[in-house]
């Protein structure tokens, strides 16, 4: 494999990362505080939306972003932030939520699920599922089109989105889209991308192992499809999918393998690899021009998918 050429702006962002303490080397709260600070610095100016309000979504705190004021039923994206199930929150992903709300446009419901290690698997997943089911059940109250609701997330949030999409299929809840942004899909570290990009590209192999340990605990079951979507054997009739990967990311190969399996299971699937990018590149929109452009491109794909609406086929 040829050595990948990192985007020069990404290289500068990675230099800033190098000054941060590695996850697992400091208390969790310190890592969370650093993640909030760095996320805001890297994303830069955020998109303006019509309104932002916090709600109780079936016992789970959520933040609702509305791009415009309208009485017409709107498409929506229930969104789960990344951060290894441990360090992300509504604030670290405020910029991404605003970007998708404004640029799609759609209502974004960003979910503040419980985090590990205080609340290990399956607590984050149960919150994600409860919030999604509540949004679907209360679509009319929220002025949403129940046939044009998608789920999405990045990194660990992409894992939650994939599992929620499968549960929606199994329980008959209409989900029109699963948006998986450089998702974690497998509790394994044996892909070529885990070897090529194990260090020096932001998210490391050791860091990902630490996140998994916080999520599952020492004796957790990484073979459970509710934890690792790649372990699911039947992918048929899942919601249409958009899967985005970064070339220089330890998670690249497992995410692309999952996208390929979706496609082979006849799920309508779009896969996009962003060359020269690293894990979490969408949060770098203030410092990396390609990241900001990618948000526009992904928003276009979200719009088209939600316009198609839910299909049970």
- Looking at the annotation, which residues are catalytic? 155, 249, 279
What does the buried/exposed string (b/e) look like for 141-168 if buried means 16 or more CB atoms within 10 Å of the residue's CB? ebebbbbbbbbbbbbbbbbbbbbbbbbb
Distance between CA atoms of residues 83 and 75, nearest Å: 26
- Classify residue 309 by burial, with Cβ atoms within 10 Å: 0-12, 13-18, 19+: middle
**Rounded to a whole number, what is the distance in angstroms from the first to the last CA of the chain?**
39
Residue 243 pairs with which residues in a beta bridge? 180, 271
What the block records as the tokens of 288 is: 């990396």
Look-up of token digits 């340990």? 213
> DSSP strand E in the chain: where?
51-56, 61-66, 74-80, 107-111, 144-154, 177-181, 241-248, 269-278
């Amino acid at each position: 494999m040829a050595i990948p050429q990192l985007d020069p702006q990404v290289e500068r962002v990675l230099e800033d990362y190098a000054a941060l303490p590695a996850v697992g080397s400091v208390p969790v709260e310190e890592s969370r505080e650093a993640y909030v600070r760095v996320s805001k610095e890297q994303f830069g100016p955020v998109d303006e939306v019509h309104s932002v309000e916090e709600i109780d979504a079936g016992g789970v705190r959520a933040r609702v972003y509305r791009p415009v004021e309208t009485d017409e039923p709107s498409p929506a994206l229930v969104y789960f932030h990344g951060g290894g199930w441990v360090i992300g929150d509504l604030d670290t992903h405020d910029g991404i939520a605003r970007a998708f709300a404004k640029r799609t446009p759609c209502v974004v419901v960003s979910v503040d699920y419980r985090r590990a290690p205080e609340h290990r698997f399956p607590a984050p997943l149960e919150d994600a599922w409860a919030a999604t089911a509540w949004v679907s059940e209360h679509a009319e109250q929220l002025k949403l089109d129940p046939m044009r609701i998608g789920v999405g997330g990045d990194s660990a949030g992409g894992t939650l989105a994939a599992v929620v999409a499968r549960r929606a299929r199994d329980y008959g809840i209409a989900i029109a889209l699963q948006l998986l942004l450089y998702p974690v899909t497998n509790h394994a570290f044996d892909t070529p991308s885990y070897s090529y990009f194990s260090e020096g590209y932001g998210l490391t192999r050791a860091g990902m192992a630490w996140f998994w340990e916080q999520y599952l605990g020492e004796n957790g079951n990484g073979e459970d499809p509710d934890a690792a979507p790649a372990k699911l054997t039947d992918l048929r009739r899942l919601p249409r999918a958009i899967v985005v990967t970064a070339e220089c990311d330890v998670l690249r190969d497992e995410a692309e393998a999952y996208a390929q399996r979706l496609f082979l299971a006849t799920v309508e699937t779009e896969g996009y690899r962003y060359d020269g990018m690293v894990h979490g590149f969408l949060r770098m929109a203030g410092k990396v021009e390609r990241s900001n452009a990618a948000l526009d491109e992904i928003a276009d794909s979200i719009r088209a998918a939600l316009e198609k609406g839910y299909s049970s086929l």
